[in-house]
Structure 1
Amino acid sequence: MLRCAGYNSVDLATAEKLALCVANVPSYSPEAVAEFAVALLQTLNRKTHRAYNRVREGNFNLMGLLGKTLHGKTVGIIGTGKIGVAVAKILRGFGCRLLAYDPFPNTEFLVYGSYAPLEELLPQCQFVTLHCPLTDATRHIINAESLKLFQPGAMLINTSRGGLIDTQSVVAALKSKHLGGLALDVYEAEVNLFYRDHSDEIIQDDELMRMVTFPNVLICGHQAFFTEEALVEIAECTLRNVEDFMLRRSCPNSLVTEGHLLVRKDSLPVRM
């Protein structure tokens, strides 16, 4: 039983061969992740994390803290499932123009913005935020070629899956100053790093530690989901999955199977 939405870490083909049941929590408090994504966007944009550290040292200088007014800016949302739509609702309140890319358009998003092909969306956006699952089609959707389409100085936010971004290409775009800023709550090679205390160790991931030194990079440890409400929903859905599994043993038609992932009938496992 997975207590998360993503199941890219599970070998579903092997699970099928071993007759194992795999269940996830396809949706839990999308607002929690959406709010955190916008918090990262504004922290990166207005440099409040740097201002906080300065003031603690008695430095009230404003040099280097210049940001942009979010009102009137174009934000690209890649992935318009529950979280993407929740982000759109928030950013619409800021007065942003919203463009989205999703091979499976969601009519709920059309209240807040419009869809465009990725190659048309990226050049128009001052900010791009990722909210799609990690699949073969989306892996490294942000790469050397797609980064060339970004506006010079545009900022990128990822609270979805680390593998959506080609880290080497993003580092190169930051070093060339083509990418104006990067905020991550997920990281491509996070599996042996996140959720552990490494403060007494020398971290061997050179790319991650290089990014940490950049003044226009903000990295968190996969905490966007981490609210009281989300944890309650995760626990409740996990218990329902156990109940469904037990029910399936006595009534095989009580669940739907998408791929080899058991999901509830009211779930949308392919979108975040």
Structure 2
Amino acid sequence: MKIGVFSSNPYDETSLSALADDRMSIQYFSAHLNDATVALCNGLDAVCVFVNDDVSATVLAQLSAMGVKHVALRCAGFNNVDLDKAQALGIAVSHVPAYAPEAVAEHAVALMLTLNRRMHKAYNRVKDGNFNLNGLLGFNMAGKTVGIVGTGHIGKATAKILLGFGCQVLCFDPYPDRHLQDAGVQYVALDKLLAESHIISLHCPLNEHSYHLINQDSIGKMRDGVMLINTSRGGLVDTQALIDGLKMHKIGYLGLDVYEMESELFFKDHSCEIIQDDVFERLSTFHNVLITGHQGFFTQEALSQIAQTTLSNVKKCADKNMDTTTFLVKP
């Protein structure tokens, strides 16, 4: 099996190569998969892609013409894949629905705590010999109301951590989790969650229904000074609406591990360049905004599980043993 891994970094090569067997011949490409790079797939049996690769209808058509039979996502989200086109072309599509969900959940909570207690600012002050506490005032997490939008594996793990902090946890999801309810969370309508939560954390997939779920209207329904956390997908929020909400002091704290236009920025070193994204640059000027570069998944445990599930999916496809747990499309 000849497999092409796109958007590859050294840690991808390490984790995947460690688990690959003798049946697999893997080529690693640092470039994103898109119209300009799809020619690299000639002669491959499968392609392995990540969150910012473009697996649109036109790319899939070219993959099919080259004989590629499987698109293996090494992530949970699949908003960048045209599943209908893949089905029509007979290309299997698999993903990694669950990989150490605590990794992203813990990162979301780390963003909350860092923003709340100004850890990043305190660190820089102490490095400069400044031990003044003015401007570092936080609040107790215990007793605060936290809204979790989406209670899949990651949202559920986040809710459990916050229950441990003594928070009141409100959840919104079309499919309530009985175990979470038994643990003490309350499922409510989205508008009620927006209105009552001191902290809102997004953990839902990106699709046509959730695109710009957080917009000018939904931000207007939130508490003044709300904390908003997004570790899911950048397209869940309207970035300009975030900027407006920050300027009006409606949003008091903003933690992002994802960004709507991140494909041009994230997973690359731009430290010696002038960043051309004016919206991102404006967002990063706010003192109450904390942005990380899509690293929520980045733990040893998660990378190992991602590699294991991804390569297992490749084997299952080759053996025609595709299940409904990890395969989104079976030809």
Question: TM-score, normalising length from structure 2?
Answer: 0.76
Q: What secondary structure does 1:232 align onto?
A: helix
Going from structure 1 to structure 2, the CA distance change for 1:219 and 1:21 (only over 3 Å counts) comes to same
Residue number in structure 2 paired with 1:231: 303
Residue of structure 2 aligned with 1:30, choices 101, 110, 113: 101
Residue number in structure 2 paired with 1:206: 278
Residue 81 in structure 1 maps to residue 149 in structure 2 = no
Partner Cα distance (1:11, 1:82) in 2 = 24
Partner Cα distance (1:108, 1:257) in 2 = 20
CA displacement 1:93-135 (0-9 Å, x = unmatched): 1100000011121112212311000111111111000001001
Q: CA deviation at 1:247?
A: 2.2
Residue of structure 2 aligned with 1:66, choices 137, 146, 154: 137
Contact 2:92/2:327, CA 8 A, preserved across alignment: no
Q: After the TM superposition, which residues 113-124 of structure 1 pair with which residues of structure 2 at under 5 Å, given as runs?
A: 113-124=185-196
Contact 2:97/2:326, CA 8 A, preserved across alignment: no
Partner Cα distance (2:212, 2:153) in 1 = 22
Residue number in structure 1 paired with 2:324: 256
Contact 2:93/2:327, CA 8 A, preserved across alignment: no
Q: Which amino acid aligns with 2:323?
A: L
Q: Which amino acid aligns with 1:228?
A: Q
Q: What secondary structure does 1:191 align onto?
A: helix
Q: What secondary structure does 1:32 align onto?
A: helix
- How many percent identity over aligned positions? 54
Q: What secondary structure does 2:294 align onto?
A: coil
Residue 57 in structure 1 maps to residue 131 in structure 2 = no
Gaps of 5+ in 1: 263-272
Q: What secondary structure does 2:73 align onto?
A: coil
Q: After the TM superposition, which residues 176-187 of structure 1 pair with which residues of structure 2 at under 5 Å, given as runs?
A: 176-187=248-259
Contact 2:156/2:180, CA 8 A, preserved across alignment: yes
Higher-Rg structure is 2
Partner Cα distance (2:121, 2:325) in 1 = 48
Residue number in structure 2 paired with 1:163: 235
Cα RMSD over matched residues?
A: 1.6
Residue of structure 2 aligned with 1:129, choices 171, 183, 201: 201
Partner Cα distance (2:326, 2:96) in 1 = 14
Q: CA deviation at 1:259?
A: 9.2
Residue number in structure 2 paired with 1:174: 246
Partner Cα distance (2:328, 2:135) in 1 = 51
238-247 vs 186-195, which moves further: 238-247
Residue 103 in structure 1 maps to residue 174 in structure 2 = yes
Q: CA deviation at 1:229?
A: 0.4
Q: Which amino acid aligns with 2:112?
A: L
Residue 146 in structure 1 maps to residue 218 in structure 2 = yes
Q: What secondary structure does 1:71 align onto?
A: coil
Equivalenced residues, count: 259
Q: CA deviation at 1:258?
A: 9.0
Residue number in structure 2 paired with 1:244: 316
Q: CA deviation at 1:18?
A: 2.5
Runs of 4+ deviating beyond 6 Å: none
Q: What secondary structure does 2:171 align onto?
A: strand
Contact 1:155/1:181, CA 8 A, preserved across alignment: yes
Going from structure 1 to structure 2, the CA distance change for 1:38 and 1:209 (only over 3 Å counts) comes to same
Residue number in structure 2 paired with 1:92: 163
Partner Cα distance (2:274, 2:239) in 1 = 20
Q: Which amino acid aligns with 1:204?
A: Q
- Which protein has greater RCO, CA pairs closer than 8 Å, 6+ apart? 1
Partner Cα distance (1:41, 1:160) in 2 = 15
Residue number in structure 2 paired with 1:267: none
Gaps of 5+ in 2: 1-71
Q: What secondary structure does 1:137 align onto?
A: coil
Q: CA deviation at 1:187?
A: 0.5
